[in-house]
Amino acid sequence: MSQVSKIPLVTIPGFSKLVADYISGNPALRHLYKYDLSIDTFAQVMADKAKDPIDRPLLVSVLKRQYRNVDASDKTKLNIDSLLSPDTFTVTAAHQPCVLLGPVFNIYKISSTINLANQLKAKYPEKNFVPVFWMGSEDHDFEELGTTYIYGKKIEWPAAAGEGGAYGRRRLDTFVNVLNEAELILGEAGKPLIDKMRAGLDKFTRFGEYTRYIINELFADTGLVVIDQDDAELKQRFAPIIQDELEHSSAIKALDPTLQWLEAKYSVQATPREINLFYLADNIRDRIVRQEGELYTNTLLVHGSRVRIPTGTQKQDYSVFSPNVILRPVYQELILPNLAFIGGAGELSYWLELKPVFEHHKVNYPMLVMRSSMTVINTSQLRKLEKLGLSVVDFLGNIDTLISNFVKSKLSAEMQFDVETKTLEALYDSIAIKAETVDPTLKGTVLAEKQKQLNALQALEGRIVKAEKRKQEDAINQIKALHAAIAPQNSWQERIENFSSFYVKDPNYIQHIVEAADPFQRAMLVLNLDGV
C-alpha cells in the first residue's frame, strides 16, 4: 500500500465549516476549546491532566476483568499495568460496537490513536502513552449499528422480536449468519478473517465483548486497549455526575451560552436535553424525563406504566443510568488519564460544544484531534482516473455535476455557447436601455424576450451536451464505476465500506494504515492498495 496524494480536508465539498475553522486555527473559535492542536502542547495537557483525581487502581482492575477471556498481547497487558503509574496517559478514540466493525473509518480512528500514541512516546520518551478505544456499547441504534457494506453489498444483522436496549448486550445466537454472508461476498480470500471471527463466537455470548475480541485480534501487536463503558464499577465512579444531572439538570444550563453562539455562527451538532441520561435495563434504553418534579422513563415499558426513577443516593444502583452524547465524553474523561480525543468531523463538532460541561464538573477538557481520513483505490482505478483526467477529489461532490462538467470539457470551444450567451445578454441589455428611453414600460418586454432567447440557447446547448454524452458513454460508465468505489452512496468511501474489503487484499493492511494515519496531517489520504 502506498500514498498517492493528500487532499486538504478544508477543501473537500461539504466538510464541516466548524471543524475546518478549528483545524485551521480560526481565532474566533478559541473560546470553545482549551488546547492548541499541536504535539508541542501536550506537555501542558499532561500537567493539567495530572491534577485530575483519576482512580487508576479502579481503571486497571476493571480492564483486567474485562480482558479476562481475551488473549491479549504482552504489549497490551503491559499497557494496562502501566496505567497504575502517574507517568502513563491515554489518547482515546470512541465508537459504538458495529457489525463487522462498521464503516472503515473505525479502523482509521483507531489507527490514528495508535499513531498519535507512538508520536507522543517519541516526543516525550520519559512518559508512557496508551492508545485506548472507548466502546460506547450502550447505544441502542440497532438500524445504524447492525448494517455494513462489503464491496457495496449490504449486510444486516436484524433484531429479533422484542430485542432492544444496549447494543453491546445483544446475544450472539444469530451472528453466524452475518459471518456466512460476509464470507460469500469476500470469497476464498476472506476465509482466514472470517474463521478468526467465527472462533470468537465460541468464546463470548454478548456482542460488546465479542467486538473487543475482534479489535484485539486486529490490533493486538499495537498495544491498543479497549474499555467498555457498560460497567457497574465505572458507573459508580461516575455517580456524582449522574446524581448532579438528575437533581439539577446541570448540562443544559452550562451549555446554553455556547449553543446560542454556535447557532448564530454555525450550527448545533448535539442538542442537550433537560436530563442527559437514559434508563438502562435488559432490552431497554429509554430517555429519562422530569414530570411534576419526579423523574420517569419516557415511554411505556412495564405493564403500561412508566418506570419512576429514584433520585436518592441510598444504595442507588448507578449501572441503570446511561449517559447520552452530552455526558458520555465527561464519563470517559473522568475514568481515563486522557490527553486527547481523536474523532471525525461529526464527533469534533459536538465535542466543541462541551467545554462548559467539563468545567462545571471540574474534569479536564482534552485536546481535540481530527482523525485521519482515507480513500483507498487500486492501480487499475488509478490508471482510469489518469486517463480520464480526473482525481479523487472530483468524486467527492455531486456525481451529476461531475459528469456534466466532464462532458463539457470534451466539447470543442466552438460547441460551447459561453461567448454567444454573453453577446446575447449584452445585445438585449443595450436594446432595453434604448427602449426604456422611448417608453419605460418596454424595458420589461425586452428583458422577457432576452430570457426567452437565453432559454432557447441553453436548450440547444443541452441537446449538444446530450449528443456528446452518447459519444462519451464508455467514459461516463467508467466515471460511474469509479464513483461507486470512491464515493459510494454519494458519501465518502470511509463512511460506507467495511474494512474487510481492503483487509483481504493486503496481508499487512493494519500495519500500513497505522503507519499512514498521522492525525496531524489534516488531510484525506489517497492510498493505492496495490502500491509498495
Residues 366, 424 within the same domain: no
- Cα 444 to Cα 439: distance, rounded to the nearest angstrom: 10
Residues 118, 20 within the same domain: yes
- Cα 158 to Cα 175: distance, rounded to the nearest angstrom: 9
Residues 8, 130 within the same domain: yes
Task: Find the helix or strand (DSSP H, E) in which 117 lies.
Answer: helix 105-123
Which residue shows C-alpha cell 448545533? 268
- Cα 516 to Cα 102: distance, rounded to the nearest angstrom: 20
Residues 458, 516 within the same domain: no
Residues 348, 465 within the same domain: no
Q: pLDDT value at position 473?
A: 84
Residues 471, 346 within the same domain: no
295 domain-assigned = no
- Cα 523 to Cα 393: distance, rounded to the nearest angstrom: 11
* Exposure b/e, 88-127, CB count within 10 A at least 16 = b: bbbbbbbbbbbbbbbbbbbbbbbbbbbbbbbbbeeebeeb
Residues 332, 184 within the same domain: yes
260 domain-assigned = no
Strands 277-281 and 284-291: antiparallel
The Cα-based distances of 28 to 18, 31, 37, 45, 350 in angstroms read 10, 8, 15, 22, 17
Determine the straight-line distance between the first and last CA of the chain, rounded to whole angstroms: 5
Q: Residue 478 burial by CB count (10 A; 0-12/13-18/19+): exposed, middle or buried?
A: middle
Nearest to 405 by CA among 394, 420, 391, 418: 394
134 domain-assigned = yes
- Cα 260 to Cα 78: distance, rounded to the nearest angstrom: 45
Nearest to 5 by CA among 342, 343, 394: 394
Residues 471, 424 within the same domain: yes
110 domain-assigned = yes
pLDDT tens track of the chain, all 532 residues? 898 899 999 999 999 999 999 999 999 999 999 999 999 999 999 999 999 999 999 999 999 999 999 999 999 999 999 999 999 999 999 999 999 999 999 999 999 999 999 999 999 999 999 999 999 999 999 999 999 999 999 999 999 988 999 999 999 999 999 999 999 999 999 999 999 999 999 999 999 999 999 999 999 999 999 999 999 999 999 999 999 999 999 999 999 999 999 999 999 999 999 999 999 988 889 999 888 888 888 875 544 556 677 665 555 789 999 999 999 999 999 999 999 999 999 999 999 999 999 999 999 999 999 999 999 999 999 999 999 999 999 999 889 889 988 887 876 545 556 777 888 888 888 998 988 888 888 888 988 988 998 888 778 777 776 766 676 788 889 999 999 999 999 999 999 999 999 999 998 999 999 999 999 999 999 999 987 6
The Cα-based distances of 467 to 76, 400, 462 in angstroms read 62, 16, 9
Task: Find the helix or strand (DSSP H, E) in which 367 lies.
Answer: strand 367-370
Q: Model pTM?
A: 0.88
Residues 478, 363 within the same domain: no
Q: pLDDT value at position 411?
A: 63
Q: pLDDT value at position 351?
A: 98
Q: pLDDT value at position 378?
A: 95
Q: Do residues 370 and 343 make contact, with C-beta atoms less than 8 angstroms apart?
A: yes
Domain around 420: 398-486
Q: Look up residue 322 and give its three cell numbers.
A: 446511561
- Cα 67 to Cα 287: distance, rounded to the nearest angstrom: 30
Residues 221, 148 within the same domain: yes
372 contacts: CB under 8 Å, gap ≥ 6: 108, 109, 111, 112, 115, 516, 517, 518, 519, 521, 525
Tell me, rounded to whole angstroms, the distance of Cα 459 from its chain centroid.
42
386 domain-assigned = no
Could you write out the DSSP letters of every residue in 262-320?
A: HHHHS--SS---SS-EEEEETTEEEEEEEETTEEEESS--BTTBPPEEP---TT--GGG
189 domain-assigned = yes
491 contacts: CB under 8 Å, gap ≥ 6: none
Residues 187, 62 within the same domain: yes
Residues 132, 12 within the same domain: yes
State the SS3 of 311-350.
CCCCCCCHHHEEECCCCHHHHHHHHCCEEEEEECHHHHHH
Packing angle of the helix pair 232-248, 328-335 (nearest 10 deg): 130
Name the domain count of the chain.
2
256 domain-assigned = no
Sequence length of the chain is 532
124 domain-assigned = yes
The Cα-based distances of 38 to 10, 23, 119, 371, 507 in angstroms read 18, 10, 11, 14, 33
- Cα 51 to Cα 191: distance, rounded to the nearest angstrom: 49
- Cα 246 to Cα 327: distance, rounded to the nearest angstrom: 12
